[in-house]
Amino acid sequence: MKVLASTKTGFTKLSGPATGITFTNLLSDTKAAENQIRLSGSGVALGDIDGDGWCDLYLCRMEGANALYRNLGDWRFQDLTVAAGVACPDQWSTAAALADLDGDGNLDLLVNALGGGTRLFFNDGKGHFTEAADSGLVRRHGAMSLALADVDGDGDLDLYVANYRTTTVRSTGLEMLNINGRRMLKPEDRDQMYITPSGFLREHGEVDILYLNDGKGHFTARPWTGGAFLDEDGKPLNGPPRDWGFSVMMRDMNGDGAPDIYVCNDFWTPDRFWLNDGQGHFRALARLALPCTSSFSMGVDFADLNRDGFDDFFVLDMQSPDPVRRMTQAACNEPPAAARGRRPPLCSPSFRSLFGESGRTVRKLKPVTEGMRCGRGPTASLRFAPSVRLGRQDSTGLSLRRTASWHRWSAHPMPAPKPSP
């Protein structure tokens, strides 16, 4: 967006010594090499933890303890991590949220971690936290992000956790059987990965979890089968989707007052769009309503970008700005979803094998997608269409600016992208 020369400064950088925030999320090369999923980064949560009217900060760290900063006003912060009891050391923290989960009016804390699932800390209203002894939350899986909303209309906040994976053979390697010259998985690995008919090795992602809150901060996992989740044809799922979950957001997208769910998934697993009936039962969005999604979705946000009364959404992905690298990241478009009876990613690539003939890791093909989807109608005709794509980036964060920023941006036309060199 072009900024006029006469415009006053909108943001001023403040130093760590000036604010009291000296937090840095560092990840050593050694730890990153051990598990490349750790490169996904960590999140932040904001909220008034002690009722003084100021917004406090909780910052997640991948390698080392997290940090809680109390806002003293006038852009000064005090480190309360140890006193508050929320350091969460010795875990790979990925995301956090501050929300009242037990109905006492105080903001409680949820923290996700790779291999550590989700933890819940109750707030006493003065910024002192106690970890829930029996929250019902699963303490395993590669919990990447989370979203909160009242999905069943009972007046409390329910929780959706997007799980990725805790480890991957891209870092750990994989020992395979060789039977009569044919590569085969060991029996103990067949639940976690599979070999396609073309000989490609693919790992399953970990199953996401939707938790229902009893109003007191105890959660129960909603089963994926048994009718709680229906496919596009209204049939119960035969099993849980084993997607590589990156990011999740809840939003009422069809105007019925119930929060729906959008999940960004990595690799070949498509994004999921679940419509809520208001009682915590979900049905997949009709195939033709969203005929294609991003192949490597990493973040999503919603807002009414064109002010037509319908929420639009923006999905983040990545692609190299270097033209030479882009040629190696090209992907092939598949036929329309309706022709095959399923919805593919936007540029579903023909993946090469995870391992080449020499056993080395081969770079994945990456698609061109970083764009918005425009909402086109209410409940009966909820449809989306691609709107714009932004500049290419090698990597993209998991979160976006909020609605206020979107409305400001929507007042300024976006220039057409320049041709690639």
pLDDT-based confidence at 1, cuts 50/70/90? low
Mean pLDDT, the chain, as a whole number? 79
**Higher per-residue pLDDT: 15 or 341:** 15
pLDDT (tens digit per residue) in 67-82: 999 999 999 999 999 9
Query: In this predicted structure, what is the pLDDT of residue 305?
Result: 82
C-alpha closest to that of 367 among 396, 398, 408: 396
pLDDT (tens digit per residue) in 342-353: 444 344 332 222
**Higher per-residue pLDDT: 300 or 128:** 128
Tokens describing residue 124: 């006493």
- 73 strand-pairing partners: 76
**At a CB cut-off of 8 Å and minimum separation 6, what does 5 contact?**
none
**At a CB cut-off of 8 Å and minimum separation 6, what does 95 contact?**
42, 43, 60, 111, 112, 143, 144, 145, 146, 398
C-alpha closest to that of 43 among 29, 27, 25: 25
- In percent, the amount of the chain with pLDDT more than 90 equals 50
Query: In this predicted structure, what is the pLDDT of residue 381?
Result: 43
pLDDT (tens digit per residue) in 155-168: 999 999 999 998 88
pLDDT (tens digit per residue) in 15-45: 999 999 999 999 999 999 999 999 988 999 9
Query: In this predicted structure, what is the pLDDT of residue 293?
Result: 75
Query: In this predicted structure, what is the pLDDT of residue 416?
Result: 38
**Least confident segment among 120-129, 300-309, 393-402:** 393-402
**Least confident segment among 12-21, 227-236, 299-308:** 299-308
Q: What is the pTM of this model?
A: 0.79
